[in-house]
Amino acid sequence: MNSNADRSSPPEVLVFVGGTAILPDRLLADAVVICRDGWIESIGQSQPIPEASQVVDLGGNYLSPGFVDLHVHGGDGADFMDGDEEAVRTAATAHLRGGTTTLLPTSTTGSPQRIHRMIDACESISRESSEQFTATSPQDRSAVLPHVPGIHLYGPFFADGKTGCHDRDARRDPEPDEYRSYFDRDFVRVATCAAELPGAESFYRLAAAHECLITCGHSNSSWTEMQAAFDAGMRHVDHFWCAMSSVPSLRARFQVPMQASMTEFVLMNEEMSTEVIADGCHLAPELLEFAYRMKGPERLCLVTDANRAYGMPPGEYVFGHRESGCHFFSDANVGWTLDRTSLASSVQGMHHMVSHFAKVTSATLPDVIRMASLTPAQRVGIDAQTGSLTAGKRADLLVLDAGLQIQQIYVQGRQV
């Protein structure tokens, strides 16, 4: 691959030729993709190339939309809950390296003060990531940031006994004064609460009023509780099969008759979406295949759920705030609790999730890419700006080889 212009700043016109574009529903061979001022202008197979363009010869590789991660905690030694701009910048940049051009920093079971500090830092980096494309002078490519359209309010409203690697002592039931203070900031795009908690329905209704993707996670809720949550606006379940109810877990909670769980509710309800961690450690290939066939690419998202150990060597780390979080161990493949009995989040990027899912399931390449880009973008309402190779959207682009390894990354037309 080569190009004919300085790549430190976005050119007026950027044209990709000589490869295959991955569209939401098909592959487009011999594609010509024209981008202007950081936005996709047109896509076709035979188009005149504007004069004075920067032409990128894909060399037979794929051109993909950048990935969108709606569930991610950290990377390169930083956790978004550390609550300072440098930590947010470090973690966001780590995931850009894995092809994630848009992400929603995800909170844990921290105190209200820690969550507000996390939102402060993420808002600051969100502004920085927007302003980087308004600069008139060339910038260092290493300083390019992914887009941060908002946060995922994930903790602290988890069910007791379903906190996983999050700090159990910091979980709590939803209180209106607390969660209203988060929503009033208008920076929460995804909002999670366990459906069985007292006050959950009020939480969901306020989240719906703020146009959030409303999710149930870290929960031991029954079908009846899920239905009440659905009626209040809940439409998504976090990391399928992980820290969620099952028929046996509800048998212990309710005795007889056995009750349907979150799993059955999601699979039976066409409007419900969910997500999988396709790192090869959380879920076996048959579970990934099952989720794909049951929900389809329009309702299944790939997420990383990655923690601060992503991009770091094996060792002991802290999940959540560096001073008050819980310790876990990373073997560089996945996170583990210190006693090695339970998984503790992922340590892989989205590029790994995509290549593994493509390798072990029957999903088509357009479907795999869609689940890592357009589907999550649609679920959080940002698909008018990103998520697919479509005219009018940002030129957030990846060049992938035949093995789906990343060769080049572009954020709004600027090569990283």
CATH number of 1-65+387-416: 2.30.40.10
Binding site members for Zn(2+): 218, 239
Structure token digits, residue 221: 């809720």
- State the span(s) of the chain assigned CATH 2.30.40.10: 1-65+387-416
DSSP collapsed to 3 states, 344-401: CCECCCHHHHHHHHHHHCCCCHHHHHHHCCHHHHHHCCCCCCCCCCCCCCECCEEEEC
Structure token digits, residue 341: 């009995």
CB atoms under 10 Å from CB of 62, counted, come to: 20
Question: What distances in angstroms separate CA 374 from CA 70, 238, 255, 307, 365, one per listed residue?
Answer: 12, 18, 41, 23, 13
CB-neighbour burial class of residue 128 (10 A; exposed 0-12, middle 13-18, buried 19+): middle
Binding site members: 218, 239
As a whole number of angstroms, the distance between CA 357 and CA 285 comes to 8
* Catalytic-residue membership of 177: no
- Give 3-state DSSP helix, strand, coil % of the chain, rounded to 5: 30, 25, 45
Q: Quote the pLDDT of residue 126.
A: 97
Residue 187's closest CA among 121, 119, 131, 236?
A: 119
Angle formed at CA 247 by CA 246 and CA 251, multiple of 5 degrees: 115
As a whole number of angstroms, the distance between CA 322 and CA 308 comes to 10
Q: Quote the pLDDT of residue 6.
A: 42
Q: Quote the pLDDT of residue 123.
A: 98
As a whole number of angstroms, the distance between CA 38 and CA 16 comes to 13
Q: Single out the catalytic residue among 238, 305, 383, 396.
A: 305
Q: Quote the pLDDT of residue 135.
A: 56
Render each residue's pLDDT in the chain as its tens digit; 416 residues.
Answer: 544 444 445 458 999 999 999 999 999 999 999 999 999 999 999 888 998 899 999 999 999 999 999 999 999 999 999 999 999 999 999 999 999 999 999 999 999 999 999 999 999 999 999 988 775 444 555 679 999 999 999 989 999 999 989 988 999 999 999 999 999 999 999 999 999 999 999 999 999 999 999 999 999 999 999 999 999 999 999 999 999 999 999 999 999 999 999 999 999 999 999 999 999 999 999 999 999 999 999 999 999 999 999 999 999 999 999 999 999 999 999 999 999 999 999 999 999 999 999 999 999 999 999 999 999 999 999 999 999 999 999 999 999 999 999 999 999 999 99
pTM of the model: 0.95
Q: Quote the pLDDT of residue 7.
A: 41
Architecture of domain 67-386: Alpha-Beta Barrel (3.20)
Q: Quote the pLDDT of residue 141.
A: 59
Q: Quote the pLDDT of residue 46.
A: 83
- State the span(s) of the chain assigned CATH 3.20.20.140: 67-386
Contact 44, 15 (CB under 8 A): no
